[in-house]
Amino acid sequence: MTRFGNSPDLATASALLVAAAFVHGPAQAAIGKLLVFLHVAVKQRALQGELQAALPGVDVTAVGHVGDFERTQHEGVDAVLAVPPVLAAFKLTAKLRGFRGGSFEEKYSLVGVGSEPDPSKITAVGALDLLGRDGTTGFVKGLLGASPRIERVSKVEDLLPLLQMQRVDAVLLPSRLFSDIKSASKLALVQMELSKTVGLPAAAAVTAAGEQIIAAIKNMPAAADKTLGVDPWR
């Protein structure tokens, strides 16, 4: 009869498992939770996966709706990554700011079909929903200096159908995303860059653990920074 308590193979296997726990345990230690609310050219699931890979030990949640952002924030997170108007609306202070082309700000463009749109003449505009109905309305009108009807969408790819179905005269988006929607459409898209600018993505710490997450964001691979439209962080 085999007595498992004295089995050399079992003892060896147990020793190896204990050793593996000591070797791999620190590398898998959790840093904290990062909530991301950004509109980029890739889908939210792809964005979440890319950031998860770029930030080992950080639990990344990427959302595309302001309602999901608010709910997830209330459930408890350690750091937040979003554009400055969103951080300000939720009384969060940026500890790390995106930088590109010599500036912490980026330009937005109005995009129309066939000819350059005139902000003073458009009656309806499509826009990414950053802050809900009232907040997004104020954001768009502040950039345009006009008061058109606003159609809000939650994804970059949802802007094109608004133009295709002629529900709006133009759409508003960060200028860096123009090439992405232009390549995805057969429409003769024309952009008109606005003079006012908006801050690039920024990160805010919510808890002490959030400071470690911010340090990790600052050292992300360049490919992840490029997805966010940042090069580098400061």
* pLDDT for the residue 27: 47
Residues 6+ apart with CB under 8 A from 135: 66, 85, 89
CA distance linking residue 92 with residue 209, whole number of Å: 15
Could you give the percent of the chain with pLDDT greater than 70?
88
DSSP-based three-state secondary structure for 178: helix
Above 60 in pLDDT, residue 153? Answer: yes
Above 90 in pLDDT, residue 133? Answer: yes
Q: pTM, whole model, 2 decimals?
A: 0.85
DSSP-based three-state secondary structure for 197: strand
Q: Between 69 and 3, whose confidence is greater?
A: 69
pLDDT digits (tens, 9 = 90+) for 184-224: 999 999 999 999 999 999 999 999 999 999 999 999 999 99
Q: Phi/psi at 90 (nearest 5 deg)?
A: -105, 20
Could you give the percent of the chain with pLDDT greater than 90?
86
DSSP-based three-state secondary structure for 22: helix
Above 50 in pLDDT, residue 167? Answer: yes
Structural domains in the chain?
27-98+200-227 (3.40.190), 105-199 (3.40.190.10)
Above 80 in pLDDT, residue 56? Answer: yes
* pLDDT for the residue 137: 96
- Chain position carrying tokens 């590109």: 100
Strand ranges in the chain using DSSP code E only, listed in sequence order: 32-37, 58-63, 79-82, 96-97, 105-113, 124-128, 149-153, 170-174, 189-199, 202-205
Q: How many CB atoms are closer than 10 A to CB 178?
A: 18
| Token pair recorded at residue 33 | 């939770």
CA distance linking residue 149 with residue 127, whole number of Å: 10
Above 90 in pLDDT, residue 12? Answer: no
- State yes or no: cis peptide before 232, omega within 30 of 0: yes
Closest by Cα among 232, 229, 221, 233 to 50: 221
Out of 9-13, 60-64, 94-98, which region has the weakest mean confidence (pLDDT)?
A: 9-13
Per the prediction, the chain carries an average pLDDT of 89
Above 80 in pLDDT, residue 101? Answer: yes
- C-alpha distances in angstroms, 173 versus 66, 114, 140, 176? 17, 17, 10, 8
Mean of pLDDT values over 12-18: 42
